[in-house]
Amino acid sequence: MADRSQWIPLTAAVRPFSVGLDLGGTNIKAGLVDDEGRTLAYHTEPTEVARGPEDVAARLGGCVATLAALAGIEPGEIATVGLGTPGPQDLASGVIHDAGNLPGFENFPIRDRVSAHCDHAVTFANDATAAAYGEYWIGSGRDLASMVFWTLGTGIGGGVVIDGVCLEGHHSHATECGHIIVDTSPEARLCPCGQRGHLEAYASATALVKSARGAVHAGLGTRLATVAAAGEPITPIVIAREAKAGDETAMELILEAAGWLGIGTVNLMHIIDPEGVVLGGAMTFGREADPIGRAFIERVRQEVRDRAFPLLAEQTTIRYATLGGDAGYIGAAGLARAAGRGG
């Protein structure tokens, strides 16, 4: 929501207002949203992890006043504040345990430090869960009673919302959907978490790029070899570009990742049985607007038709997310709003 023209004017906004804070390894995103989830003001800045957790917490807390100023309201007019951070964390105590892409944040009480810096109680959530809630509240899942959400990017995360309630887990580890076991063979791939056969090792951007490099090294006749020879980094965007240009290997790699994602989706459907499944995150190939995005989601749907109970395959909608990178702060704000109403 970097484009101010998309912000709604204060006169059109419905109170109470909430702030959502989305802490990522690269950027902080912060938004002020109204009671219908519409953005009144947005602010982003680099996380600069190296400045340390207390500095980051101070700047996160400072976003509340920044957003109020941008929207032309007093900070006191903000009813609730929500914060989403990468896991694993302990939701009850508001502590980040061991965040891979936030070095130095181990066991840092982020919720209470942000709260101290903005003088608001802070509702704390996993970032993928916050994004799931954002899509559920006003995005792709706004017509769904229950929803499974995938965040497809460098890693794979997930969130589950059922009748407005997010699945959090007893140890704050629910919906670690990238770590569903999809390959139990002895030659199963190694997941960044250290275990074997997890979905993240098959369907994440990292896994896709690794497979593409493997294809290049194997000497398969692929345009990706030309890309690599020219010194251009192989990324999911490049792989999709070459697939669109007719490279069969690139297309196969994308569809293979989609197939694994479909297997993970079947497992979620047989456990959660949501009304719908929403695919979000950076690795969504231009979504339905792009032929590669269409082929990707169609392959997920095909895998579901091939492997799920027919009734579920028929009746469970599978679609892309619509809020893009805004889902996290909107969802964090929405969770704070819901908590403010007593859940």
338 touches a second copy (CB under 8 A) = no
274 touches a second copy (CB under 8 A) = yes
- Among 5, 11, 26, 184, interactor with a second copy by CB under 8 A: 184
How many Å apart are CA 112 and CA 123, to the nearest integer? 10
339 touches a second copy (CB under 8 A) = no
- Among 10, 58, 220, 272, interactor with a second copy by CB under 8 A: 272
140 touches a second copy (CB under 8 A) = no
DSSP string, 92-157: TTTEE---TTSTT-TTB-HHHHHHHHHTS-EEEEEHHHHHHHHHHHHSTTTT-SEEEEEEESSSEE
In angstroms, what is the minimal distance from the CB of 341 to a second copy? 18
Residue list 191-230, contact with a second copy (CB under 8 A): 193, 195-197
- Among 8, 58, 312, 339, interactor with a second copy by CB under 8 A: 312
User: 295 or 312: whose CB is closer to a second copy?
Assistant: 312
Segment interacting with a second copy (CB under 8 A) among 7-15, 36-44, 162-170, 286-294: 162-170
Listed in sequence order, the DSSP H helices in 248-290 are 248-271
- Among 99, 118, 177, 228, interactor with a second copy by CB under 8 A: 177
Q: Give the amino acid at 243.
A: A
Torsion on CA atoms 194, 198, 200, 201, rounded to nearest 10 = 70
Tell me which DSSP letter residue 177 carries: G
In angstroms, what is the minimal distance from the CB of 171 to a second copy? 6
How many Å apart are CA 17 and CA 71, to the nearest integer? 11
Segment interacting with a second copy (CB under 8 A) among 33-41, 77-85, 169-177, 208-216: 169-177
92 touches a second copy (CB under 8 A) = no
User: How many positions of this chain bind a second copy (CB under 8 A)?
Assistant: 47
User: 226 or 315: whose CB is closer to a second copy?
Assistant: 315
Q: CB under 8 Å to 9, separation ≥6 — which residues?
A: none
Phi and psi at 141, nearest 5°, equal -100, 15
112 touches a second copy (CB under 8 A) = no
309 touches a second copy (CB under 8 A) = yes
In angstroms, what is the minimal distance from the CB of 80 to a second copy? 23
In angstroms, what is the minimal distance from the CB of 76 to a second copy? 34
How many Å apart are CA 52 and CA 89, to the nearest integer? 17
Phi and psi at 216, nearest 5°, equal -65, -50
Is there a contact between 195 and 250 (Cβ–Cβ < 8 Å)?
Answer: no
Peptide bond into 186 cis (omega under 30): no
Residue in 99, 139, 138, 95 with CA at minimum distance from that of residue 281: 139
* Token pair listed for 293: 């995005």
Segment interacting with a second copy (CB under 8 A) among 21-29, 30-38, 57-65, 312-320: 312-320
User: 56 or 156: whose CB is closer to a second copy?
Assistant: 156
**Residues lying near a second copy in the complex (CB under 8 A):** 88, 97, 145-146, 160, 162, 167-177, 179-185, 193, 195-197, 263, 266-275, 306-309, 311-312, 315-316
